[in-house]
Copies of this chain bind each other. A is one copy, B any other.
């Protein structure tokens, strides 16, 4: 299954780049197993794509999601906007994105950023010894390149698995149309359990069930699957279909989710980690791909600033990028709780509306954390710091708004969301 992509490409900055990839060429492969189908693309990822002239190609195949749509147990649906009216995140198809990037890479192979960032070492048994002046390890959460870092002295590393696993199920179109409103990220928050659904171009939704492995293990029959869904996600049962549920649940085992932090990202002037290899995160902030793409942008910016001197660029990349990546890894973990549990509470929903409203009133002073992370390139660790500061200020406003909450809530909705 080993594909070695065309080697010795001369690229813009004058480097010869070889790309190693252990998976089959996705443009030729039939099935891609065990990886999530959808990815959430937002500002940081788009900026990186724009930099290599590929933003429109990807965005045109994405489906805008302008709000979360919360499904209560009783079937009530409440939207919580992601930001302002014109702000949205995009549901993009992983397979299509990979295909476009591989094809784009051939077309735009004169641009450093695509090529450097895709260099990968073959994992596992099919290891290949490669002599290179410089290695970029973008080989994912289970990075083989990173294993070499672990042998270096004073490399800080942590990998943390959460007790939840995930499983994907498909919700087919209904009478040729999307079975749910398409421009939303649908969420069924049930405290310990959670399901989400993201729209696809073919008018299906990919539903992802998040559940503790303990619970996954308990379910061994189709009837138990149906029970689970009828108890916790009753409105989804007719849309996915009882038979499909009973069948598809057992197609693949639940997948684990890991959070990885490490430091530094480089060894000397010869090796650097990027993307999930440097900072795998749980998927609950929709920033995994965006953070990885932004790595390339940050790296490219440093290359320009420091005259392509790897000896200067690499330590600076670690110095700048480690605190940012660790901030988003932590935020994703925080959202792991928030999305399942807090999102259920009226207070949480009120806070989200309040945050958006304060932002509307004071657009440069009070910026919601989600907005900074998703719709700007504010450095992640600065967004987090600023959020803590805003929360302090917010507490002073809290008393005021808590008292006028019932009126305020209605008022805000009318004033702000058209």
Q: Mark A155-178, 1 if CB is under 8 A from B, else 0.
A: 111111100000000000000000
Contact of A158 among B153, B158, B213 (CB under 8 A): B158
A154 CB within 8 Å of chain B: yes
Q: Give the number of copies in the complex.
A: 2
Q: Mark A189-228, 1 if CB is under 8 A from B, else 0.
A: 0000000000000000000000001000000000000000
Docked-complex contact A157 and B157, CB < 8 angstroms = yes
Contact of A159 among B157, B160, B213, B256 (CB under 8 A): B157
What is the interface residue range for chain A against chain B? 10 to 19
Complex Cα–Cα for A154 and B160 (A): 8
Complex Cα–Cα for A160 and B153 (A): 11
Complex Cα–Cα for A153 and B155 (A): 22
Q: How far is the CB of A315 from chain B (nearest CB, A)?
A: 14
Q: Which residues in chain A, 60-97, are within 8 Å of chain B measured between CB atoms?
A: none
A163's closest neighbor in chain B, by CB?
Answer: B154
Docked-complex contact A159 and B153, CB < 8 angstroms = no
Complex Cα–Cα for A121 and B152 (A): 20
Which of A150, A154, A256 has most B Cβ within 10 Å? A154
Complex Cα–Cα for A213 and B153 (A): 12
Docked-complex contact B157 and A158, CB < 8 angstroms = yes
Q: How far is the CB of A257 from chain B (nearest CB, A)?
A: 10
Q: How far is the CB of A31 from chain B (nearest CB, A)?
A: 21
In the complex, which residues of chain B have a beta carbon less than 8 angstroms from the beta carbon of A154? Answer: 161, 213, 256
A161's closest neighbor in chain B, by CB?
Answer: B154
A124's closest neighbor in chain B, by CB?
Answer: B151
A147's closest neighbor in chain B, by CB?
Answer: B150
Contact of A161 among B156, B159, B161 (CB under 8 A): B156
In the complex, which residues of chain B have a beta carbon less than 8 angstroms from the beta carbon of A160? Answer: 156, 158
Q: Which residues in chain A, 211-250, are within 8 Å of chain B measured between CB atoms?
A: 213
Complex Cα–Cα for A153 and B157 (A): 16
Complex Cα–Cα for A157 and B160 (A): 7
Docked-complex contact B159 and A159, CB < 8 angstroms = no
Complex Cα–Cα for A159 and B213 (A): 26
In the complex, which residues of chain B have a beta carbon less than 8 angstroms from the beta carbon of A157? Answer: 157-159
In the complex, which residues of chain B have a beta carbon less than 8 angstroms from the beta carbon of A213? Answer: 154
Can you list 14 A-B pairs, Cβ within 8 angstroms, ordered by A? A150-B159, A153-B161, A153-B256, A154-B161, A154-B213, A154-B256, A156-B159, A156-B160, A156-B161, A157-B158, A157-B159, A158-B158, A158-B159, A158-B160
Beyond the given pairs A153-B161, A155-B159, A156-B160, 5 more chain A to chain B contacts, judged by CB atoms under 8 angstroms and listed by A's residue number, are A153-B256, A154-B161, A157-B157, A157-B159, A158-B160
